[in-house]
Amino acid sequence: MPLAVLTTSRKTSNRVRSFVRDLWSVLPGTERFNRGSMNSNELIARIQQSDAKMALVVTLWKGNPGTIQFISSTGSELLTVKLESAALRREVSSLKGLRIHSVYAVTVPKSISRQGRNLADFIAALFNFEATESDTPVMAESDGSNNVEIRIEDLGGGKILWTHLHAVNGEEMGPRIRVLGVRR
């Protein structure tokens, strides 16, 4: 049973499909599928059929990822993350083809904004733990070769940086997501 299913909006681009594939590779317990011409009701039925908690739907804006919509299995919108930009794994990391097996932490700096904290808490709840406050990335204590830390930080001007860091050396794995806003 997946935690969430990942897909795109109905009309999409190759870059958005690559972004969804990258996001799937760093979010363990998720299932990725191509939506095609599936309408909203069919999407909800797909979430319910897979017994997932929710779906993450990445929408298109001028050929790039525009938003990540978190949708419940009943079809209600739980959270919408408006993106400024999204850098793909191949654009930020030399780690190729690594599939993550576990998220060991969702971390935020102690001085995080309320909006950043809300995003971190929401993502941490997806993996059934709480976001941790730390001004530096937290390394995994055991062999963390297939583990990732999700790091949420403020960029200033109300923007947020959402990154994925490798457990062993703290290297950024991608995708790197610059968030303009979070709406519940």
Q: How far, in Å, are 57, 65, 90, 117, 168 from residue 124 at the CA level?
A: 18, 22, 25, 10, 20
Which CATH number does 4-83 carry? 3.40.50.10480
pLDDT tens track for 17-57: 999 999 999 999 999 998 888 998 999 999 999 999 999 99
Q: Which of 22, 32, 152, 151 is nearest to 99 (CA)?
A: 22
C-alpha distance across the termini of the chain, in Å? 25
User: 23 by DSSP, 3-state: which?
Assistant: helix
Contacts of 8 (CB under 8 A, 6+ apart): 16, 17, 20, 34, 35, 57, 58, 59, 60
What are the domain boundaries of the chain?
4-83, 102-183
pTM: 0.93
pLDDT tens track for 113-149: 999 999 999 999 999 999 999 988 887 665 657 889 9
pLDDT tens track for 112-121: 999 999 999 9
**Rounded Cα–Cα distance for residues 91 and 152 (Å):** 19
